[in-house]
């Protein structure tokens, strides 16, 4: 299983910066590095301890004069000692331990285990508990299993060591005992298999922790990104609000006054109409929501309100989450249906204010809803038949493009017209 803070990373690579630029505490501990450090300690302790056992066996053999070929035995011991002088520092310094070093260790140990019995007397095998390199063989098999956590490498190491101890049986008829050799090899195999299984499970746990850490960090980064986006959106909204206030207190108030019938109204009706349209456009193009933005639909709805604005109707616009583009026929249907709804307010509601909202529900296929709401005198839909404008200009027009329309009204409580696409 791949991991981010694994054995293939350079030292310190897991100490990455956090979301706010501080060191990421979730990655300051590299579990794989800790596991390798523990493995190195176990291998070194095992090797030093087994070499001490070999030293004790040398003393015991010397006391009983157990050597038939002292020169050969000395050569074997010196070879193992020389290799140990190389092996121990390499294990202490190299992380991970190179496969080549482990292979040489297996070959030297197997060769020493196969050759040493040929230098011993028959009495040596009956007076000395462990006259050969059995402890070092176990240590070598454990080193391979812990370092590689590989069943293939562990099996190869145990087979090579088993071959060395099997060849040693030919040195003496008394030493030629299959059960004893099987016991020696069996201890090596069982111990190495347990260590290999343990390391594989331990590394799998470390991989799972790394994966979980990556997911937590990624989730935290997404939260930070959303927070940054929200802060940027709110900052933009505050700027819009300031501009909106400036427009409301300046040009919008002036245009509204010019478009009115009072003393500030312009005597020329054409100027009043244009001022009303301009005021309507200013109100619509200044979003009052952090998610508000100018889109094809919002501009079409603002344009739909221009005609009603010339009749003295003040439209309050609220847009949110609208898609950037829509099919042309859908835009036309929304524009004309909303225009008809606004015209009905201007003609029948007895109110000079109306609220027009347009929003999307942000689904994979968003549903857009446009609502025209007034607080006018309303009517009873059950006793008042719907006119041609509602039936044809609103309902039928929305049905033609795959949408829907609905009218809800109560006497004295105003009217609401809902336009929806798709239906």
On whether residue 417 sits in a domain, the answer given is yes
Domain extent at residue 104: 25-220
On whether residue 238 sits in a domain, the answer given is no
pLDDT at residue 136 greater than cutoff 50: yes
pLDDT at residue 324 greater than cutoff 90: no
pLDDT for position 389: 73
Residue 66 sits in the same domain as residue 186: yes
Averaged pLDDT score across all residues of the chain: 80
Asked whether the beta carbons of 87 and 47 are under 8 A apart, the reply is yes
Beta-carbon neighbour count of residue 269 at 10 Å? Answer: 10
What CATH code is carried by the domain that includes residue 332? Answer: 3.30.565.10
Q: What is the DSSP string of 45-81?
A: HHHHHHHHHHHHHHHHHHHTT-BS-HHHHHHHHHHHH
pLDDT for position 238: 67
Helices 31-63/70-93 angle, 10° precision: 160
pLDDT for position 284: 65
Residue 299 sits in the same domain as residue 359: yes
Q: How far apart are CA 131 and CA 62, in angstroms?
A: 11
Residue 138 sits in the same domain as residue 194: yes
On whether residue 346 sits in a domain, the answer given is yes
Sorting pLDDT into bands at 50, 70 and 90, what band is 212? confident
pLDDT for position 8: 42
Q: How far apart are CA 335 and CA 353, in angstroms?
A: 19
CB-based contacts of 320: which residues, under 8 Å, 6+ apart? 289, 291, 292, 358, 359, 360
- Asked if the bond preceding 28 is cis, omega within 30° of 0, the reply is no
pLDDT for position 11: 42
pTM of the predicted model as reported, rounded to 2 decimal places: 0.51
Q: How far apart are CA 339 and CA 360, in angstroms?
A: 20
Maximum mean pLDDT: which of 71-80, 162-171, 209-218, 317-326:
71-80
Residue 274 sits in the same domain as residue 396: yes
- Percent of the chain past pLDDT 70, that is, above it, reads 76
Residue 209 sits in the same domain as residue 348: no
Domain end among 220, 245, 269: 220
The vertex-254 CA angle with 249 and 260, nearest 5°, equals 125
CA terminus-to-terminus distance, the chain: 48
In total, how many domains does the chain have?
A: 2
On whether residue 245 sits in a domain, the answer given is no
Q: How far apart are CA 42 and CA 61, in angstroms?
A: 29
Beta bridge partners of 318: 357
Sorting pLDDT into bands at 50, 70 and 90, what band is 228? confident
């Amino acid at each position: 299983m791949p991991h981010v803070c694994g054995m293939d990373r350079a030292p310190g690579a897991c100490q990455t910066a956090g979301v706010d630029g501080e060191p990421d505490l979730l990655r300051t501990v590299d579990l794989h590095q800790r596991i390798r450090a523990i493995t190195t300690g176990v291998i070194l302790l095992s090797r030093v301890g087994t070499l001490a056992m070999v030293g004790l066996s040398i003393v015991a053999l010397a006391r009983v004069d157990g050597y038939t070929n002292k020169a050969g035995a000395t050569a074997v011991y010196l070879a193992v000692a020389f290799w140990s002088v190389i092996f121990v520092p390499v294990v202490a310094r190299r992380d991970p331990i190179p496969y080549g070093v482990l292979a040489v260790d297996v070959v030297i140990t197997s060769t020493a285990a196969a050759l040493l019995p040929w230098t011993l007397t028959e009495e040596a095998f009956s007076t000395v508990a462990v006259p050969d390199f059995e402890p070092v063989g176990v240590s070598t098999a454990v080193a391979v299993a812990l370092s590689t956590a590989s069943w293939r490498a562990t099996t190869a190491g145990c087979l090579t060591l088993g071959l060395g101890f099997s060849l040693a049986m030919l040195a003496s008829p008394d030493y030629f005992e299959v059960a004893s050799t099987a016991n020696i090899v069996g201890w090596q195999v069982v111990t190495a298999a347990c260590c290999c299984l343990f390391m594989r499970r331990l590394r799998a746990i470390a991989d799972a922790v790394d994966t979980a850490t990556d997911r937590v960090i990624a989730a935290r980064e997404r939260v930070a990104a959303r927070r940054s986006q929200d802060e940027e959106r709110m900052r933009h909204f505050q700027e819009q609000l300031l501009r909106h206030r400036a427009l409301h207190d300046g040009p919008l108030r002036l245009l509204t006054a010019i478009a009115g019938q009072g003393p500030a109204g312009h005597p020329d009706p054409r100027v009043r109409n244009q001022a009303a349209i301009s005021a309507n456009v200013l109100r619509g193009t200044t979003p009052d929501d952090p998610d508000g933005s100018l889109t094809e639909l919002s501009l079409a709805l603002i344009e739909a309100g221009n005609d009603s604005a010339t009749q003295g109707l003040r439209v309050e616009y609220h847009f949110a989450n609208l898609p950037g583009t829509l099919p042309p026929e859908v835009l036309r249907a929304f524009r004309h249906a909303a225009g008809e709804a606004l015209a009905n307010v201007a003609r029948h509601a007895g109110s000079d204010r109306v609220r027009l909202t347009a929003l999307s529900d942000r689904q994979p296929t968003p549903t857009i809803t446009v609502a025209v709401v007034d607080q006018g005198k309303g009517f009873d839909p059950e006793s008042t038949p719907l006119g041609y404008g509602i039936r044809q200009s609103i309902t039928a027009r929305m049905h033609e493009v795959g949408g829907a329309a609905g009218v809800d009204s109560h006497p004295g409580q105003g009217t609401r017209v809902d336009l929806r696409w798709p239906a």
